[in-house]
Structure 1
Amino acid sequence: EYDKRRNIVFDALQDMEGVICKKPKGAFYITAKLPVENAEDFVRWLLTDYDIDNETVMFAPAEGFYATECMGRDEIRISYVLKEEDLKKAMNILKQGLIEYNK
């Protein structure tokens, strides 16, 4: 079940311009490098200023998961514990949000 969910998220991320990530083997999350300068600012923007049909997504900025200062500044951590349809919707919101944010 988790492999299927992981693949949904991973495949969607691979389809997003400028996003870089590795396919995890055992975790229930993916860390993805985004084409943004500061992931925390991007995540905040998603929550406060962006939606599709009154829905948005929340991700964990990855910087807090690193011991080295400034590592992960342009990365997010995406958990894939949601239902498949919810993951697909979230990945679409992320993709469209990145396009809008980087205009």
Structure 2
Amino acid sequence: RYSECGTRIGMIVSHNAEAMKAILKFCQARLSPPLLGQIVAEASIEGTEEYSKACFDEYLARRDFFIAGLNKIPGVYSPMPNGAFYTVASLPVENAEDFCSWCLTDLSYKDSGSPEGFSGETVMMAPAAGFYSTPGLGKNQVRMAYVLKKEDLARSLIVLEKALEAYRAR
């Protein structure tokens, strides 16, 4: 699968020579084109249509599974993304940045239902406020990617729900 979140690769085809000349100047202004991204992009267009369709279907299934799971957690809301590997979800917290930090520094979820437990499990999210230009927007939102296998996404949903319970109970 091509899980290359953050890779920015595109293509422009035009018969307009002036537009292509201007675009070339913008492209040359980049100091370091993403070499690995270019390699991945080339591999993705050389693959079969069947493989591309299977990847597409897998990501749709991951998206649908993850968004449905988020929306089952009390107080959490995520719209259904179209064309992204991530979502911005509203959480039942006042400050998502504080919650995200707490998850990384203080949360160590251990599943009491398992003999081995899951010591040290947490979830990593990006506070969404930094993605907004309007101050105050996104204060209770987080950005989460759903590029993991469904089994891992299922586990992250459990840990997120337990994290929210523990955070509110502090």
TM-score range normalised by the length of the shorter chain: over 0.9
Q: Secondary structure at the match of 1:42?
A: helix
Where has structure 1 moved over 3 Å in runs of 4 or more? none
Q: What is residue 91 of structure 1 aligned with on the other side?
A: 157
Q: Secondary structure at the match of 1:20?
A: coil
Report the AA paired with residue 93 of structure 2.
Answer: V
State the shift of 1:20 in Å: 1.5
State the shift of 1:25 in Å: 1.6
Mapped contact 1:56–1:93 kept (Cα < 8 A): yes
Q: What is residue 135 of structure 2 aligned with on the other side?
A: 69
- CA separation in 2, counterparts of 1:8 and 1:96? 18
- Gapped regions of structure 1 (runs ≥ 5): none
State the shift of 1:3 in Å: 0.7
Deviations 1:15-50 (A, max 9, x none): 111111211121111110000000000011111111
Q: Secondary structure at the match of 1:21?
A: coil
Mapped contact 1:51–1:93 kept (Cα < 8 A): no
Is 1:78 the equivalent of 2:144? yes
Aligned length: 103
Greater C-alpha radius of gyration: 2
Is 1:56 the equivalent of 2:122? yes
Q: Higher strand share goes to which structure?
A: 1
- Gapped regions of structure 2 (runs ≥ 5): 1-57, 110-117
State the shift of 1:91 in Å: 1.0
Deviations 1:57-103 (A, max 9, x none): 10010001111111101000010111111111111110110011112
Q: What is residue 69 of structure 2 aligned with on the other side?
A: 12
- CA separation in 2, counterparts of 1:49 and 1:9? 24
RMSD: 0.9
- By relative contact order (CA 8 Å, sep 6+), the higher-ranking structure is 1
